[in-house]
Structure 1
């Protein structure tokens, strides 16, 4: 206890706040109550409730129609035709159908929860939960209450249309898997065999190497040291508007690189596969088939942008990094009497992903 002549105590007793100085006053904090419940129009007007119900199941049926349209678009614009217009329409209309199907389900579900489901506020006290019989009974009761409040069991039109929309929304994705199935035909017995399809391209002995996409043939003398050129077979440029163009181009794409002859490591059986330091390798990555088109001039590495596989151009395009399982196939090349680069033969091994070679 302080003494009566304590100067600090006298100072405390005589202190008064200066004018304009805010003084904090501690008051008890009260938990705010729930605001008054405001009835929705659908709660007050039966006609509004019926209109909301019709809106919800109409949206769900629109979703069903959009899913069916996505499947129809897959058949109306077959991507297998190889025509660019069909590929564009295939992607556009299938995408629009799937997007509308999912959007209609989402909007319908939100409108259902806001306009039709129970709108009464309630307070749920927190308590310790344990795996007892009473907990199981409470969980069952909670499902029963949710069913009653949402009207899922009573409103059959909404329930059935929602189930139909959800089931239909999955159908386009299932149908799209058809594109992965074999499509053999009497005229093309290997059409469904990826191993046979990728074992041969349109490269043939004596076929000129040409710039992609112009089709202009390439002279060996025109390639500068360190250059990297995207190459296609010259006849391919003449069939750009024909069926099968994209398939043939996807297999036959080549990257042409010029190095110093002494920089190239070649086994004896491949000594004549390059010409004066010029080498040609397939652009199709042996991992999952992405185009290998990024060339690092200083390191002589080819980089696949999809999964970062790297290949050494100076050493038979061997894999030096990444998930690719084997080197890029090499196209044997030479020059003709006019100095144009030509192919000695087709690739001697399948192009593309390694997993296609599994039987």
Structure 2
């Protein structure tokens, strides 16, 4: 399972860089972007809160320009983890960036840039299987375990006509630090 996710992620990173940059597929999430399913039978379809199971797990998504309908899937750095939790569990700072009970984070680990594509059910945390970092979605993506050096970048959300919409770009650096 992890091998498939890494292969898919690497393919997204290296395919057609110039065309993706020209057509907006590599553009980072922006205010007003809708979030769409990243993979599976519903890939490219807009995600609504009812699509997200209460209490997790997360759904992997990509931002989509609401005007051009271009899905920004030209870079793994655009992959987003959406999760729906009880908003009473959120810190005040998290609640301010959520759309109801839905929060969104970069799905790229801050340790080595691996996909944060798994869910740790017992602790309700986002999990990176590469080196076992876990992140708390109720507390702005805070690191709770593992070698990740910093929290996940959050994608502020708002609800618009029943859709989950980006209220701004990512709140911090996406992925690992480069030297």
Tell whether 2:179 aligns with 1:353: no
For the pair 1:212 / 2:38, whether they are aligned, the reply is yes
Decide whether the 8 Å contact of 2:119 with 2:125 is kept in 1.
yes
> Unmatched 5+ residue regions in structure 1?
1-79, 85-187, 189-199
2:129 to 305, 308, 312: 305
Q: Which has the higher contact order (CA 8 A, sep 6+)?
A: 2
User: In the TM superposition, what is the alpha-carbon distance from 1:297 to its structure 2 partner?
Assistant: 2.6
User: Does residue 60 of structure 2 align to residue 230 of structure 1?
Assistant: yes
Question: Once the two structures are superposed, what CA deviation does each residue of 1:17-68 show, in whole Å capped at 9, x if it has no partner?
Answer: xxxxxxxxxxxxxxxxxxxxxxxxxxxxxxxxxxxxxxxxxxxxxxxxxxxx
Q: Does 1:251 align with 2:63?
A: no
Give the corresponding residue for 2:4: none
* Distance in 2 separating the partners of 1:222 and 1:283: 18
- Would the alpha carbon gap of residues 322 and 333 (structure 1) be closer, same or farther in structure 2, given more than 3 Å must change? same
* RMSD of aligned residue pairs (Cα, Å): 2.8
Look at both structures and tell me which one has the larger radius of gyration over its CA atoms. 1
Considering fraction of residues, name the structure with more helix.
Answer: 1
Where do 1:289-304 residues align within 5 Å?
Answer: 289-304=113-128
**Conservation of the 8 A alpha-carbon contact between 2:36 and 2:47:** yes
Any stretches of 5+ residues in structure 2 without a counterpart?
1-12
**Alignment-derived partner of residue 92 in structure 2:** 266
Shift of 1:223: 2.6
- Among candidates 327, 335, 341, match of residue 164 of structure 2: 341
Deviation per CA, 1:169-200: give whole Å up to 9, x if none.
xxxxxxxxxxxxxxxxxxx9xxxxxxxxxxx9
Question: Residues 64 and 70 of structure 2 are in contact (CA less than 8 Å); yes or no, is this contact kept in structure 1?
Answer: no
Number of aligned residue pairs: 155
More strand by share: 2
TM-score (norm 1): 0.39
Would you say the 8 A contact 2:31–2:166 is kept in 1? yes
Q: Would the alpha carbon gap of residues 306 and 81 (structure 1) be closer, same or farther in structure 2, given more than 3 Å must change?
A: closer
